[in-house]
Amino acid sequence: MSATKPYAGVFPIAPVPFHDDETLDLDGMRRVLDCMIDQGVDGICVLANYSEQFLLSDAERETLLRLSLEHVAGRVPVIATCSHYATGIVEARVRMARDLGAAMVMLMPPYHGALLKGSEADTFEQFQRAADIGLPIMVQDAPLSGVGLAVPFLARMAREIPNVSYVKIETPGTADKLRALIAAAGDAIAGPFDGEESITLLADLDAGATGTMPSATLPDLIRPVLTAHAAGDRAAAMAHYNRILPLINFENRQCGLRACKVVMQAGGVIRSDRVRHPLRPLPEPTRAALLELAGPLEPVALAWGR
């Protein structure tokens, strides 16, 4: 939580650019962060799944975290993803994020692959130990982990663990889950967010979401949906949402994390849209269709570096 009010609004995920040989493009990372700030974001999330965090070494994570926090330099709050199956590693990552100046950390429940999953007791203890380090925590409730986080359990963590005060829900039926969680946890949830490229944003705002965590493809075009909804103008919010929904749907269903890199490369933000093997680049027809949808909408990322 900030000094005056809870974090809310648009907190997109920063992609990690690579050179064509798959090494880190650190100058490109700085340009990504500058572009995102110029998109008018309320904050930035780094080292998330859409940052290809599962393809980064520990040394690369530290380099990117340090670079991101030093380069953003307080212009917007930065959320650092610190998930790991091992609680001790989570603690070390959270401690580093705190020491480098992160505003918050985001954690998935402990899991590894398809079969190693922490119990509710394991998850509670891991989050409790991470919370003791002193940063606000956003619980990421996403299908990728394969760990089901029931509403009563999420509400219990929010009520009983200081600093576990934000949630990002991106499971099927997000709006219903957000509504139930807000009712169950009350003020213990300072920031109910959705994610998954903001594909269900309008329903989630109706359910009480106060923030969203999309990709960095079009946060400048997502912001008007939140602004209009917060002002009580649902018709305007729906008009803004309907305008961008085809692009969001295409990103979510056809492209995944590769969409943002394609748009940012086309917009001169980064030099390469490379993803790390075993991920594959977008097929050319899909790439062309993505840019065809994005072009008329004129997102900042598509022109920022031209």
Which residue type, as a one-letter code, is found at position 137? I
Which residue type, as a one-letter code, is found at position 103? A
Which residue type, as a one-letter code, is found at position 275? V
Question: Does residue 116 sit in helix, strand or coil?
Answer: strand
> Residue 141 in contact with residue 181, Cβ under 8 Å?
no
Sign of the C-alpha dihedral, residues 66, 257, 149, 169? positive
Nearest CA to 300 out of 44, 39, 41, 42 is that of: 39
Indicate if 168 belongs to the active site.
yes
In our burial notation (b when 16+ CB lie closer than 10 A, e otherwise), range 205-227 reads bebebbbbbbbbbbbbbbbbbbe
Which residue type, as a one-letter code, is found at position 282? L
Q: Of 117, 168, 177, 261, which residue is the catalytic one?
A: 168
d(CA 17, CA 261): 7
Dihedral angle at the C-alpha atoms of 154, 156, 161, 165, nearest 10 degrees? 50
> Residue 300 in contact with residue 39, Cβ under 8 Å?
yes
Catalytic residue list: 168
